[in-house]
Structure formats: structure tokens, C-alpha cells
Amino acid sequence: MRCPYCKHKDSRVVDTSSDARGGVRRRRECQNCGQRFSTFERPLLASPLIIKQDGTREEFDRDKLIRGIRISCAKRPVSGTVIDRMVGEIESALQAMGRSEVSSRVVGDMVIAGLKDLDLIAYIRYAIVYLGLDDLGAIRDEINRLLEG
């Protein structure tokens, strides 16, 4: 494993541990500059293709999903770690479905459900964009639903 600090190509494993989801974490030390870093290995399961609203398919893009959620969470007390974890859970849920294709709506609904638990302002922002709440009446109805619930 190449050192991320000095790009030296040899590093020494100083510690190995496993995590609950079957991954292996290795703590490494660069043999050139002595910096330590970790690598994480886990089995790669296939995520289903995402069917977009226009009928085209695309690969599940974890980073794109994270970006969208981060925008909704701007200036809200939601940490990047929490967002990463949520997207990780969504990805696992998609893989666990064992399907080759899944509608983008399924992914959107999972994000919506996750944000609803996390932060209602972020949830409303996401809903406006992804549920297409494009008029004030629809947005007001959704906010009223939240206030009543």
C-alpha cells in the first residue's frame, strides 16, 4: 500500500482488526517517512443499477448522493460522519434487496426517511428538490403534516 503522505510504495502493517460488518482494518506505518495511516478492506457487493425518472439507468453513485444530502444539510447540525453513515446504510439496504435494478424513487424515499429522523429542515429542503414539491402549497402541506405528526 502506497504511503498517502510521501508516496513511498512500502508500508508495514502494525495492527489488524476486524469490524462488525466483516471488514478488516489495517494500521500501517510508512517505511520511508514513518507516518501512520489505516486501510480498510471489505467485501464489495454489487449495488443495483438505478433507474432514473426518464427511464435511463446509471450506477449507484455514493458520492453524488452524499453531495445532494450535504447540500440539504448546509448550516444544519448534521455531521459529515452521520451523512456518510446514512448513505452507507442506504447502500447496504439496496444491496440486500438483491435486485439488478431499483428505481431512483426507492433511493430518494430512503434518504427522505433518514433525513426525517435526523433534521426536519434538511428533510424539507431535500423534499423540495427530490419530491418535486414545487409550489408553496405543497411545501406548506408537508410542513403541516410534520407539525401535526
In sequence order, the β-bridge partners of residue 103 are 51
Q: What is the DSSP letter of 25?
A: E
Tell me how far apart the alpha carbons of residues 58 and 54 are, in angstroms, rounded to a whole number. 11
Q: Choose between 30 and 65: whose C-beta lies nearer to Zn ion.
A: 30
Query: Which stretch, 5-13, 38-46, 55-63, 108-116, contacts Zn ion (CB under 5 A)?
Result: 5-13
Tell me how far apart the alpha carbons of residues 108 and 83 are, in angstroms, rounded to a whole number. 14
Q: Choose between 23 and 34: whose C-beta lies nearer to Zn ion.
A: 34
3 interacts with Zn ion by CB under 5 A: yes
Encoded one letter per residue, x for contact with Zn ion by CB under 5 A and - for no contact, window 24-63 reads ------x-xx------------------------------
In the complex, minimum distance from the CB of residue 1 to Zn ion, in angstroms, rounded to a whole number: 11
Interior/surface letters 73-82, b for 16+ CB within 10 angstroms, e for the rest: beebebeeee
Query: Which stretch, 4-12, 49-57, 103-111, 131-139, contacts Zn ion (CB under 5 A)?
Result: 4-12
Q: Choose between 4 and 132: whose C-beta lies nearer to Zn ion.
A: 4
Q: Give, as ranges, the residues between 75 and 134 that touch Zn ion (CB under 5 A).
A: none
Please say whether the beta carbons of 122 and 76 come within 8 A. Answer: yes
From its phi and psi, is residue 8 left (phi > 0), alpha (psi between -120 and 50) or beta?
beta
Q: Could you list the residues that contact Zn ion (CB under 5 A)?
A: 3, 5-6, 8, 30, 32-33
